[in-house]
């Protein structure tokens, strides 16, 4: 039933969407679909929200993710690093007061260049709130754009984004190596060799080497797992080397398993954390701050 | 007229082709077209050669480049590093004895991975033969797949290939950054900033930073020159840092100018070398060894 703390939480990304009906911090209903912001399109968000309420319950709604970008429902300004639950909650924008709101993203404005996130901040802060990770720790969120966040005292102190997943997809679909990249990607020997070979830091040369090894008969025709290891290894080594001996990886088990293998391959320790539990914890914490 | 040393030289690449009528080491006629091996297709090479002879003269023909690959006329086995004029000439394969031949590519079979070239070896060896570069030097051939060759005693002692140009094209045409990459690419301030920013070695993060700097208002909408600087800077720093104070760049002035700027930005000295003169010198030297 509709108690005062009940609300609908929407993790509304570019391609996918997850909706949760949360009552007293407990997920009572959950659905996942591909109605990301690109599928919804501008002008379509109000009717999407109405449809969610029709399916789930007529409750207040708190959204996070790319729904707050310039291609989303309304553009919500970024909150700056260091960002904690209080500053993120203070940046929440109401589409309709008391009824529908959107969580802001977080920006890091460094001396040399900026970085931004939208949606990941809920998981990061939620992971600490739920005591899934220490208050001071290095968190990794693999994906198209992999986030690496330094948490300090439970705040997002700093973060960096690597274009790892996108670059892999470009190579797999459009490059000279595409025809070689049809094998299953798993933390197997090929993957681990890629992680090892990433240690010399010459990614541009290693990528061409995949082709050269094939035409000289040094390797078979398959290279997707190896290239994945090269890219994830490069990503991991840039972030982990001198920063922390432990990394907490927020991901599903497939991608999380690859990152864990690469992190271990780079000499650090990896812990897999349930990213959905972290999201629910974070969005509930923000909601409780608001209401 | 047809003296005994006259021949036709064909620099037959994947996309483009250059044909030279060379008499006594002098280019008497030259043409360039887009009849690369992909346009010709298997089975079409003999008639292409006949058409060239009909246009230029009925002379012996020496071809180099991807025409000797498994997608070319006939597949010519690679000659191994270290490779010099004599070993490359010894690897020439005759399509029709005394009449039409193809220069082999060169392979480096290192302890960790292999590398290959087809066509570049003619320029490299020719640059030394024509005394355009010292016998012991670092040569750079920018392009889709940038070659870096260590010449020792006039031989190709070792080389590495970086996927620099291809990666740039992937980013420009298919990535999140594509919409930002419409500006002219020149060795301007943006390019030089990219070269500077490549020094931290975190390419994957710098690429996402291009997007983040835009959405946070830190940079304007254009980034092609900057991304070019990032990539070429990354390529140059991997090869130049501890290897040589001088780099000889074999390229046209546009791409050569970018590499020269990046090499200077990385603290080394760059010399632009005429790559066509190097090719003519190399192919003539190989021809003279054969005949």
Nearest C-alpha in A relative to B193: A112
Closest partner CB to B204 (pick from A164, A209, A215)? A164
- Kindly state the DSSP code that residue B78 receives in the 8-state scheme: P
Ordered per-residue pLDDT tens for chain A, 291 residues: 444 589 999 999 999 999 999 999 999 999 999 999 999 998 999 999 999 999 999 999 999 999 999 999 999 999 999 999 999 999 999 999 999 999 999 999 988 889 999 999 999 999 999 999 999 999 999 999 999 999 999 999 999 999 999 999 999 999 999 999 999 999 999 999 999 999 988 999 999 999 999 999 998 889 999 999 999 999 999 999 655 589 999 998 899 999 999 999 999 999 999 999 999 999 999 999 997
**∠ CA B95-B101-B107, rounded to 5°:** 105
Q: Which CATH superfamily is domain B119-285 in?
A: 2-keto-3-deoxy-galactonokinase, C-terminal domain (3.30.420.310)
> Measured over all CA atoms, what is the biggest interatomic distance in chain B, rounded to whole angstroms?
68
3-class DSSP assignment, residue B142: coil
- What pLDDT was estimated at residue A2? 43
- The CA angle A90-A96-A98, to the nearest 5 degrees, is 60
Instruction: Grade residue B1 by pLDDT with cuts at 50, 70 and 90.
Output: very low
Backbone φ, ψ for residue B45 (5° rounding): -75, -40
pLDDT at B5: 83
Residues 81-120 of B with CB under 8 A from A: 107, 109, 112-116
Question: What is the per-residue pLDDT for A243?
Answer: 55
User: Which residues of A fall within a CB distance of 8 Å from B112?
Assistant: 197
CB A81 within 8 A of CB A93: no
For the segment B52-107, what is each residue's pLDDT rounded down to a tens digit? 999 999 999 999 999 999 999 999 999 999 999 999 999 999 999 999 999 999 99
> Residue B181's pLDDT is what?
96
Using a CB–CB cutoff of 8 Å, tell me whether B242 touches chain A.
no
Please report which confidence band the pLDDT of residue B269 belongs to, taking 50, 70 and 90 as the band edges.
very high
Superfamily of domain B1-104: 2-keto-3-deoxy-galactonokinase, substrate binding domain (3.30.420.300)
**Under an 8 A CB cutoff, do B208 and A112 touch?**
no
| CB atoms B174 and A174 under 8 Å | yes
User: Would the CB atoms of B145 and A205 count as touching at under 8 Å?
Assistant: no
What is the per-residue pLDDT for B220? Answer: 87
Provide the CATH topology of domain A7-132+275-290. Answer: Nucleotidyltransferase; domain 5 (3.30.420)
d(CA A74, CA B287): 69
Average pLDDT over all residues of chain B: 95
Spatial CB neighbours of A111, under 8 Å, sequence gap ≥ 6: none
Cα(A31)–Cα(B26) distance, rounded to whole angstroms?
74
Question: Residues of chain B with pLDDT > 70: what percent?
Answer: 97
Do the domains A162-273 and A7-132+275-290 match in fold? yes
B241 in contact with chain A, both atoms CB, cutoff 8 A: no
Helix (H, G, I), strand (E, B) or coil at B285: helix
Q: What is the ipTM score, two decimals?
A: 0.93
Where does chain B show beta strands of DSSP type E? Answer: 7-12, 17-23, 26-33, 61-64, 79-80, 93-96, 100-102, 106-109, 114-117, 137-141, 146-152, 155-162, 246-250, 269-273
Q: What is the pLDDT of residue B2?
A: 43
- Backbone φ and ψ for B146, nearest 5 degrees, come out as -75, 125
How confident is the model at residue A1, as a pLDDT? Answer: 41
Asked if pLDDT for residue B177 goes beyond 70, the answer is yes
Domain-wise residue ranges, chain A: 7-132+275-290, 162-273
Cis preceding-peptide flag for B238 (omega within 30 of 0): no
Mean pLDDT of B178-204: 95
Query: What is d(CA B222, CA B182) in angstroms, rounded to the nearest whole number?
Result: 7
Q: Do B163 and A114 touch (CB under 8 A)?
A: no
Residue B29: band (very low, low, confident or very high) from pLDDT cuts 50, 70, 90: very high
Architecture label for domain A162-273: 2-Layer Sandwich (3.30)
How many C-beta atoms lie closer than 10 Å to residue B107's C-beta? 22
């Amino acid at each position: 039933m509709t108690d005062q703390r009940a609300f609908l939480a929407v993790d509304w990304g570019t391609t996918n969407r997850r909706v949760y009906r949360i009552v007293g911090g407990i997920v009572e209903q959950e659905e996942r679909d591909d109605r990301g912001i690109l599928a919804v399109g501008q002008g379509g968000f109000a009717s999407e929200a109405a449809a969610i309420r029709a399916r789930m319950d007529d409750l207040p709604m708190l959204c996070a993710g790319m729904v707050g970008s310039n291609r989303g429902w309304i553009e919500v300004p970024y909150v700056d690093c260091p960002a904690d639950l209080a500053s993120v909650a203070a940046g929440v924008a109401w589409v309709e007061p008391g009824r529908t709101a959107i969580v802001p993203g977080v920006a890091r404005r460094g001396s040399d260049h900026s970085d931004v996130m939208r949606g990941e901040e809920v998981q990061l802060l939620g992971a600490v709130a739920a005591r899934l990770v220490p208050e001071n720790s290095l968190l990794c969120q693999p994906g198209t754009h992999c986030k690496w966040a330094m948490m300090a005292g439970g705040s997002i102190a700093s973060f960096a984004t690597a274009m790892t997943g996108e670059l892999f997809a470009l190579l797999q679909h459009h490059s000279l190596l595409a025809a070689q990249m049809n094998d299953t990607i798993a933390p197997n020997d090929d993957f681990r060799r890629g992680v090892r070979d990433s240690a010399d830091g010459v990614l541009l040369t290693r990528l061409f080497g995949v082709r050269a090894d094939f035409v000289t008969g040094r390797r078979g025709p398959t290279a997707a797992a190896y290239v994945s290891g090269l890219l994830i290894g490069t990503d991991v080594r840039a972030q982990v080397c001198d920063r922390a001996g432990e990394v907490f990886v927020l991901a599903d088990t497939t991608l999380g398993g690859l990152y864990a293998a690469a992190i271990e391959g780079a000499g650090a320790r990896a812990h897999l954390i349930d990213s959905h539990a972290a999201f629910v914890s974070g969005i509930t914490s923000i909601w409780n701050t608001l209401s």
